[in-house]
């Protein structure tokens, strides 16, 4: 079996599901076990400056093999898997030379069908790795790790390919939004980097939402319902009134592409106090500011209308569109595009309707767009990846290193 597939299958055998309820970093012990195994492997590969810190951040370097100045570049992937599905006892199945039709996922009764997943129709002749229908696969993001290390092994094996310093960073807890929290950009040492954490072949992403959270708190008064007349103020009614003031079509279920939204994601309610939690998303920073101002305006209007009780608003920015930080260094994108084209991959540039660790890293001084892994249907039991897609990712990583040295 080729080195890439062997690596990938070995990595998915580690249970590294992150745990949002755990405040520690990494949030689950399995991530540290996996990090230690990777550290050992990287040492055996002869990589330099291999270090694993107490928070589970694993870094290493493949030193430059040229005598002239080439900017150090980085490749980043995450070691954890999504909390949405089990990542324990993953039993991958390899379907060689897929010829269409449904794929049974083990004995689980679950299937991958082209009707449900039209992407399959473009994958005839590919070797597809799926789950057995009881867990996720973990291609997100262990495919990224396998691809980066296979590319680095290739560069080591073919020293005639010129490259500068290649910095490698594997992070914990990306799936619970903490992967960039304790990332030491200075120690990492790259001028820019790529997360290898996207989906189908060709994906290249450098735009994501600007994101804020809005806490709307309605205050009421609780009194025994039997003697409540003219005394009780039911905060739940105030909260409901507020939600009805929000634009009903600017919601996740009514938007796509570059459209932003307001989303009521959760609520805790009682007569005395109700707490609504919204997330606000917009690709433009100015758009996000307008959404925040709109909410404040509605809170003020409601307070003016209310005879009794009150409502307050707290706004917190979460992350910003990395485009702001990547565009001033557009060669970062140009190099990736060129590398893809040289590997016969058509770059597919699309906005991410979410955030990435790369977005946060971009604002920490490390411009960091996202590149495909070759995987599909992340975070659930229908996750799969193709061997050919993974091989393309390896080729693209090698080419990016080579192109950077050729600039
Ligand atoms: Zn991921």
For the segment 164-189, what is each residue's pLDDT rounded down to a tens digit? Answer: 999 999 999 999 989 999 999 999 99
Burial 365-397 (b: 16+ CB within 10 A, else e): ebbbbbbbbbbbbbeebbbbbbbebbbbbbbbb
pLDDT in tens, 115-151: 999 999 999 999 999 999 999 999 999 999 999 999 9
Take residue 77 and report the two structure tokens written for it: 């992937």
Interval between CA 360 and ligand 1 midpoint (Å) = 14
- Rounded-to-integer distance, Cα 85 and Cα 87, Å: 6
- Distance (angstroms) between ligand 1 centre and the Cα of 44 equals 26
Which residue shows structure tokens 């971009």? 362
Judge contact between 26 and 80, C-beta under 8 A. yes
Contact 81, 87 (CB under 8 A): yes
Reply yes or no on whether the pLDDT at 354 is more than 90: no
Mean pLDDT of all residues in the chain? 97
From residue 124, give the alpha-carbon distance in Å to each of 119, 137, 179: 10, 21, 35
How many other CB atoms sit within 10 Å of the CB of residue 52?
18
CA 235, 236, 241, 246 torsion: positive or negative?
positive
How far out from the chain centre does Cα 87 lie?
17
Residue ranges, comma separated, of all CATH 3.30.70.360 domains in the chain are 210-319
322-353 residue pLDDT tens:
999 999 999 999 999 999 999 999 999 999 99
177 vs 97 pLDDT, higher one:
97
Q: Which residues contact 180 (CB under 8 A, 6 or more apart)?
A: 171, 357, 360, 361, 364
Q: Is the CB of residue 59 less than 8 Å from the CB of residue 169?
A: yes
Residue 96 CA to residue 322 CA, distance in Å, equals: 38
Query: Measured between alpha carbons, how far is 348 from 371 in angstroms, rounded to an integer?
Result: 10
Share of the chain above pLDDT 90, in %: 98
Q: Are 383 and 136 in contact (CB under 8 A)?
A: yes
* Distance (Å) from CA 272 to ligand 1 centroid: 40
Indicate the pairing of strand 192-198 with strand 370-372.
parallel
CA distance 350 to 343: 20
- Give 160: exposed, middle or buried? Use CB within 10 Å, 0-12, 13-18, 19+: exposed
Q: What local confidence, expressed as pLDDT, does residue 73 receive?
A: 98
pLDDT at residue 357 is higher than 90: no
**CATH superfamily of domain region 3-207+322-406:** Zn peptidases (3.40.630.10)
Contacts of 58 (CB under 8 A, 6+ apart): 35, 38, 39, 42, 50, 51, 52, 79, 169, 170, 171
Q: Is the pLDDT of residue 67 over 90?
A: yes
Q: Report the separation in Å between the CA atom of 84 and the middle of ligand 1, taken as the mean of its atom positions.
A: 13
Q: Are 147 and 388 in contact (CB under 8 A)?
A: no
Distance CA 389, CA 355 (A): 23
Tokens representing residue 274 in the block: 């109700």
pLDDT 10s digits, 261-314? 999 999 999 999 999 999 999 999 999 999 999 999 999 999 999 999 999 999
Residue 345 has what pLDDT? 98
286 C-alpha vs ligand 1 centroid, how far in Å? 28
| 115 CA to centre of ligand 1 in angstroms | 25
* Helix, strand, coil content of the chain in percent (nearest 5): 35, 25, 40
Separation CA 281–CA 260 (nearest Å): 5
Using 50, 70 and 90 to split pLDDT, how confident is the model at 10? very high
* Interatomic CA distance for residues 192 and 157, integer angstroms: 24
Catalytic residue IDs: 80, 174
Q: Name the band, by pLDDT with cuts 50, 70 and 90, for residue 1.
A: low
CB 384 within 8 A of CB 131: yes
Q: Which residue has the tokens 């806490």?
A: 215
Over residues 67-73, mean pLDDT? 97
Which segments of 270-321 are extended strands (E)?
A: 273-282, 310-319
Question: How far is it, in rounded angstroms, from Cα 174 to Cα 259?
Answer: 25
**What does the DSSP 8-state code read for residue 116?**
T
Task: Tell me, in angstroms, the distance from the centre of ligand 1 to residue 38's CA.
Answer: 18
What pLDDT does 355 receive?
Answer: 81
Instruction: Measure 373 CA to ligand 1 centroid, in angstroms.
Output: 9
CB 263 within 8 A of CB 212: no
What are the residue ranges of CATH 3.40.630.10 in the chain? 3-207+322-406
CA of 145 to the centre of ligand 1 (A): 11
Whole-number percent of the chain with pLDDT over 70? 100
Supply φ then ψ for residue 117, to 5 degrees. -125, 80
Q: What is the pLDDT of residues 190-221, one digit of tens each?
A: 999 999 999 999 999 999 999 999 999 999 99
**210-319: which CATH topology?**
Alpha-Beta Plaits (3.30.70)
Across the range 224-238, mean pLDDT stands at: 97
């Amino acid at each position: 079996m080729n080195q890439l597939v062997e690596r990938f299958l070995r990595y998915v055998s580690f249970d590294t599901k992150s745990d949002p309820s755990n405040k520690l970093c990494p949030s689950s012990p399995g991530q540290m076990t996996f990090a230690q195994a990777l550290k050992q492997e990287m040492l055996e590969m002869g990589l330099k400056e291999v270090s694993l810190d107490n928070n589970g951040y694993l870094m290493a370097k493949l030193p430059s093999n040229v005598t002239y100045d080439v900017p150090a570049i980085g490749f980043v992937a995450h070691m954890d898997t999504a909390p949405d599905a089990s990542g324990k006892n993953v039993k991958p199945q390899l379907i060689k030379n897929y010829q269409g039709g449904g794929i049974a996922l083990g004995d689980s009764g679950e299937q991958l069908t082209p009707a449900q997943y039209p992407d399959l129709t473009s994958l005839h002749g590919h070797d597809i790795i799926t789950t057995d229908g009881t867990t996720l696969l973990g291609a997100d993001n262990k495919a990224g790790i396998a691809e980066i290390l296979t590319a680095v092994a290739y560069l080591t094996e073919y020293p005639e390919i010129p490259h500068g310093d290649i910095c490698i960073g594997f992070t914990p807890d990306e799936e619970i939004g903490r992967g960039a929290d304790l990332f030491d950009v200075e120690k990492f040492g790259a001028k820019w980097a790529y997360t290898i954490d996207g989906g189908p072949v060709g994906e290249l992403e450098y735009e994501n939402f600007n994101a804020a959270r809005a806490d709307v708190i309605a205050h009421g008064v609780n009194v025994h319902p039997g003697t409540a007349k003219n005394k009780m103020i039911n905060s739940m009614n105030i909260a409901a009134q507020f939600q009805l003031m929000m634009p009903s079509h600017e919601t996740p279920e009514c938007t796509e592409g570059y459209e932003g939204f307001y989303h009521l994601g959760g609520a805790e309610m009682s007569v005395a106090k109700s707490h609504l939690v919204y997330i606000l998303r917009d690709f433009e920073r100015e758009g996000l500011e307008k959404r925040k101002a709109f909410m404040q305006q509605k809170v003020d209007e409601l307070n003016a209308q209310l005879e009794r009780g009150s409502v307050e608003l707290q706004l917190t920015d979460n992350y910003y569109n990395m485009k702001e930080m990547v565009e001033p260094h557009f060669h970062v994108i140009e190099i990736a595009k060129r590398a893809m084209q040289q590997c016969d991959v058509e770059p597919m540039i699309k906005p991410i309707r979410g955030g990435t660790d790369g977005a946060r890293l971009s604002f920490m001084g490390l411009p960091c767009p996202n590149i495909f892994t070759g995987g599909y249907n992340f975070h659930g039991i229908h996750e799969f990846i193709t061997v050919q897609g993974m091989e393309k990712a390896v080729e693209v990583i090698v080419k990016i290193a080579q192109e950077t040295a050729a600039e």
